Amino acid sequence: MECLPAIDIRAGRCVRLLQGSYAKETVYGDPVELALDYVAAGASALHIVDLDAARTGEPVNRAIVLEIVRRTGVPVQHGGGIRSAGAAAEALSVGIDKVVLGTFAVEEAEATVELVRRFPGQVVIGLDHRRVVADSGSGSPAPVKREVAVRGWEEGAGLDLFDALALYEGEPVGGVVVTDIGRDGMLEGPDVDGYVELLTRTALPIVASGGVASAADLETLSSIEVEGRRLVGVVVGKALLEGRLTVGEAVAACAV
């Protein structure tokens, strides 16, 4: 399971949002220096998100992302606001290893599939979701639906997580980053049962994201196995920033 330290950028600074809320932001400093520190500590790849672009579609922090690519020399997986095939292709052409498509992948699935086939292994699908109570209409307990969110997590797409996954089944995607927004930044543990269900219901390569608080959480995720299939990666953000574990400890736990 690959360890992907996360760096979220807003207004040129590394930040973390609580449960995806832009009103609940903590600033952690310079993203380039943090990236260099992570790589020096053993990170072999990075997950970089432009939060400003996620809301607006304008890549206002792209220069910082490219500086991270140039100075660290490790593969960078980059998302946030990439909402056209042209924008994705341009990002890949300037040295970004993989692009993460969220809103575009949900709203323009046909165009995204074409892009996935054009750049096999380099297009990652980002499916961020919230658990909402669906209306059963029968008076019986209402089922819980996992609704995919778009535009920087500010809007619901009206699409269930597993319906979104079905759009890309069998395609050569570089991974699917699945984030339970309710756990993001909470340091309360990952959605282990949810990832077991994902490995049971889809053959797509799944990357866990959200809730990791300790090396033990990473060891638990790394140990999940369903019919010989495991998670291919995990995004680790706030736990590293808050000193709950080091990059070295995270990488070692992912290798268990």
Domain ranges of the chain: 2-254
Asked if 45 and 74 count as a contact pair (C-beta separation under 8 A), the reply is yes
Give the least confident one: 83-97, 128-142, 232-246: 128-142
Is the pLDDT at 236 greater than 80? The verdict is yes
Per residue in 22-41, pLDDT tens? 888 899 999 999 999 999 99
Report how far residue 79's alpha carbon sits from residue 81's, in angstroms, rounded to the nearest whole number. 7
134 vs 194: which has the higher pLDDT: 194
**Mean pLDDT within 66-92:** 96
What is the reported pLDDT for 135?
Answer: 62
- Percent of the chain whose predicted confidence (pLDDT) is above 90: 80
Angle at 220 between CA 43 and CA 8, to 5 degrees: 40
What is the reported pLDDT for 185?
Answer: 72
Q: How many CB atoms lie within 10 A of CB 67?
A: 13
Per residue in 123-182, pLDDT tens? 999 999 988 766 656 665 555 788 999 887 778 888 999 999 999 999 999 999 999 888
Q: Which pTM value belongs to this model?
A: 0.92
What is the reported pLDDT for 184?
Answer: 72
Q: CB under 8 Å to 243, separation ≥6 — which residues?
A: none
What one-letter code names the amino acid at 145? K
Asked if 196 and 224 count as a contact pair (C-beta separation under 8 A), the reply is yes
Catalytic residues: 8, 128
**Class of the CATH domain delimited by 2-254:** alpha beta
What is the reported pLDDT for 97?
Answer: 98
